[in-house]
Amino acid sequence: MPTHPPTPFVDHTLESAPAASRGLMEAMARRLGYLPAPVGRLAAAPQLLDGFLKLSGLFETTTLDPLAREVVILTVATRNACHVCVAMHTGKLAALDADAELTSALRERRPLADERLEAVRLFTVEVLERAGAVGPEALDTFLAHGYTPRNALEVVLGIGAYTMSTLANRLTDAPLDEQLAPFAWHEHAA
């Protein structure tokens, strides 16, 4: 039976992490009540960890409502098959008291019943598939659901932040924390 070599990425603690990552890790642990394992792995690159936390923090301040932001995030996370990100943001949707069908549809990459949120999902997919070069029809459809040109650019910010996160988590083979076990996701489930 083939075995996979152990990852070269270290599960850093506050004591073992590069000095530039420690403050970021402490802040994350205070905010969540625990230090997520993926953060311990990303801590090896303080600039990446800092960049992701800054970008995701900026995304949280956009004019997109919280559910629309989670639609962007889970669309990127499922597309990039980041089990950690899908679990973490499934938990966030639960904390937002999101409809269970919305969460299931996002995890399974199915159309959303809510037309306005479906417009965000489709626009996110279009931006990803066309590397930003969306046609006027896709943009008009997004705008017709009450979104603005600003929102379209905010979707790009979310895609950027969570593309960074999903790729880094997959590269480091970030493990799923036990706190997220109830929200576990596997690519084959999509």
What are the pLDDT digits (tens) for 86-106?
A: 999 999 999 999 999 999 999
pLDDT digits 0-9 by tens, 157-166? 999 999 999 9
Average pLDDT over residues 47-52: 97
Quickly count: other Cβ atoms within 10 Å of residue 163's Cβ.
17
Kindly give, in sequence order, each residue whose CB lies less than 8 Å from that of residue 77, ignoring residues fewer than 6 positions away: 85, 86, 89, 162, 166
In this predicted structure, the answer to whether residue 152 has a pLDDT above a threshold of 80 is yes
Structure tokens at 104: 């299931």
Gap between the Cα atoms of 128 and 151, Å rounded? 15
| Cα 110–Cα 89–Cα 188 angle in degrees, nearest 5 | 45
Note the maximum CA span of the chain. 54
Please state which of the ranges 111-120, 131-140, 171-180 shows the lowest mean pLDDT.
171-180
Res 188: pLDDT: 60
Do the beta carbons of residue 74 and residue 166 sit within 8 Å? no
Do the beta carbons of residue 48 and residue 171 sit within 8 Å? no
pTM of this structure: 0.92
